[in-house]
């Protein structure tokens, strides 16, 4: 067991969290953790099965005297975002997460921590294993692939779920109960990579944008964080003014993460190298000034790069269309909510750019709590792609979750929090795609809330969990189960 959790309370929950983080589980590769959940349930003699979508469902009987209580489903997702610092050597398919204690926080060594949603999975495993809790009949729903398409929830067989009360354990602010979320769609533009030979007399420069914090493309989209793809594109366009020709540009890894790093290879006339380096240096100063204090660690650098003799560059017209499209592409908040103060209503994230042998692909994601606004945001992005000559693909996306402030489970949860901590919890909606919207469609009549401990910088190697908040979250959950009717 990791030394990082020594002495942390509640012991059973932290032990389960260390257990979960020791099992590789990047999105779309959840078989090891799913098998672990199944084996754990079988060892505890609990009913367990997997539905047609691969989701794991476990059932635990009520504690003595609580058999008539309405069943409650605890829901979490098995996968995690696999992000690491560029210099970090880590194989997410095979290596465990290395836990580190940092004052009041638990974090990881150069990678995402996976507390999103490993802490939810660990909580369910801890409840499954505990014999000293009061509760009615319980179901535990462990879904697949939340982070890269919500496909586990999309493929959920709702007829297999008996509960009509659901506690989603995938929120990230202790003391806040979430009762609504945004819907989302992805929009992708792809250009055929028409190329020319770079020829002789040019020097290949490697442009690098690093040091940005990154973050969740919903929860952090209003924080003014830097976007590495947008910054790198500014550098490419500047260098194009002195004859720079783009060979490749690659940045970002996840559609739901603000890109932290981006690299581009640009071929510059040999007599313009010094000027190019000076231009990039000036851009770095400008960007750092723009982003301080939220992203003051940003670096924008260029250095001469080893280039193969057959290095090819994009045709000038294609380079111009691509760079203009990236420049025109919106990123960030498009509209704040008129109903809930401080809530982002509509946003878009310029997420990933990939250069391959035959194509260049730019992936973006849009979110909104209003369906028509979401469609409008997608149309705006699609129009930019089309004007730039790209082939376009859009996803059907996932639905939002409409708040119900009269929800019985919400009223019970608020009373529990007040009795435990002497104050009312906040009740909010979230600008992110919780699985509740989809589950609510798959299981009509489901009464739902979402809550969790405090997580920061999720989807980035700076992800961390506030240790004290985990204890409060655990006590809150136990009280909800104890007082359920």
Would you kindly state where each structural domain of the chain is located, as residue ranges?
A: 3-182+400-483, 185-394
Give CA angle at 152 (147, 153), nearest 5°.
95
Rounded distance between C-alpha atoms, residue 6 and residue 229, angstroms: 40
CATH topology identical between 3-182+400-483 and 185-394: no
CATH 3.40.225.10 fits 185-394, yes or no: no
Q: Which residues contact 122 (CB under 8 A, 6 or more apart)?
A: 13, 14, 16, 17, 19, 20
Assigned token pair, 107: 């974090």
3-182+400-483: CATH homologous superfamily? Answer: Zn peptidases (3.40.630.10)
pLDDT, residue 402, reads 85
* Residue 430: strand, helix, or coil: strand
Paired tokens of 123: 């909580």
CA distances from 400 to 223, 430, 438 (A): 22, 10, 8
pLDDT, one tens digit for every residue, the chain (485 residues): 689 999 999 999 999 999 999 999 999 999 999 999 999 999 999 999 999 999 999 999 999 999 999 999 999 999 999 999 988 999 999 999 999 999 999 999 999 999 999 999 999 999 999 999 999 999 999 999 999 888 999 999 999 999 999 999 999 999 999 999 999 999 999 999 999 998 888 999 999 999 999 999 999 999 999 999 999 999 999 999 999 999 999 999 988 899 999 999 999 999 999 999 999 999 999 999 999 999 999 999 999 998 888 899 999 999 999 999 999 999 999 999 887 889 999 999 999 999 999 999 999 999 998 889 999 999 999 999 999 999 999 998 888 888 888 999 999 999 999 999 999 999 999 898 889 999 999 999 999 999 999 999 998 899 999 999 999 999 999 999 999 99
Residue 22, phi then psi, degrees to nearest 5: -80, -5
Q: What residues are labeled active site?
A: 79, 146
- Phi, psi (5° rounding) for residue 275? -65, -40
How far apart CA 69 and CA 43 sit, in angstroms, is: 25
Q: Could you tell me the CA-to-CA distances from 114 to 77, 81, 107, 234, 451 in Å, in that order?
A: 11, 7, 9, 32, 17
Q: Which tokens go with 294?
A: 């939220």
DSSP label at 62? P
Across 173-256, the runs of DSSP E, i.e. the strands, are: 176-181, 183-192, 195-197, 202-210, 215-216, 245-251
């Amino acid at each position: 067991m990791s030394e990082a959790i020594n002495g942390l309370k509640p012991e059973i929950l932290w032990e389960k969290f260390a257990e979960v983080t020791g099992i590789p589980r990047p999105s779309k590769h959840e078989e090891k953790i799913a098998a672990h959940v199944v084996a754990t349930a079988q060892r505890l003699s609990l009913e367990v099965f997997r539905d047609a979508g691969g989701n794991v469902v476990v059932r635990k009987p009520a504690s003595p005297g609580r058999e008539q209580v309405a069943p409650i489903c605890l829901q979490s997702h098995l996968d995690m975002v696999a992000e690491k610092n560029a210099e970090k050597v880590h194989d997410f398919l095979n290596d465990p997460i290395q836990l580190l204690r940092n004052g009041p926080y638990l974090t990881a060594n150069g990678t995402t921590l996976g507390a999103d949603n490993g802490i939810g999975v660990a909580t369910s495993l801890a409840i499954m294993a505990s014999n000293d809790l009061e509760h009615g009949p319980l179901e535990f729903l462990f879904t697949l692939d939340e982070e890269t398409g919500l496909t586990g929830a999309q493929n959920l067989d709702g007829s297999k779920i008996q509960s009509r009360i659901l506690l989603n354990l995938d929120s990230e602010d202790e003391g806040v109960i979430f009762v609504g979320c945004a819907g989302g769609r992805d929009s992708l533009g792809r250009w055929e990579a028409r190329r020319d030979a770079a020829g002789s007399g040019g020097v290949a420069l490697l442009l690098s944008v690093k040091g940005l914090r990154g973050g969740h493309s919903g929860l952090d989209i209003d924080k003014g964080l830097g976007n590495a793809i947008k910054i790198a594109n500014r550098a490419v366009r500047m260098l194009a003014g002195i004859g720079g020709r783009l060979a490749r540009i690659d940045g970002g890894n996840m559609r739901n993460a603000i890109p932290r790093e981006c690299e581009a290879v640009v071929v510059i006339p040999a007599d313009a190298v010094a000027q190019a380096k000076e231009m990039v240096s000036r851009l770095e100063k400008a960007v750092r000034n723009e982003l301080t204090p939220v992203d003051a660690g940003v670096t924008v650098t260029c250095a001469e790069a080893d280039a193969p003799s057959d290095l090819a560059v994009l045709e000038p017209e294609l380079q111009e269309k691509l760079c203009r499209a990236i420049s025109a592409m919106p990123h960030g908040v498009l509209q704040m909510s008129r109903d809930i103060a401080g809530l982002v209503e509509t946003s878009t994230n310029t997420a990933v750019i990939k250069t391959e042998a035959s194509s260049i692909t730019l992936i973006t994601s849009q979110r909104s709590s209003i369906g028509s606004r979401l469609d409008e945001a997608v149309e705006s992005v699609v129009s930019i792609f089309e004007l730039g000559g790209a082939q376009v693909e859009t996803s059907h996306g996932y639905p939002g979750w409409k708040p119900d402030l009269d929800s019985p489970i919400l009223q019970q949860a608020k009373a529990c929090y007040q009795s435990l901590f002497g104050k009312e919890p906040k009740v909010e909606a979230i600008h992110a795609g919780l699985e509740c919207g989809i589950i609510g469609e798959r299981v009509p009549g489901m009464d739902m809330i979402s809550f969790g401990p405090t997580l920061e910088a999720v989807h980035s190697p700076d992800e961390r969990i506030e240790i004290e908040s985990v204890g409060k979250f655990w006590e809150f959950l136990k009280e909800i189960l104890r007082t359920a009717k």
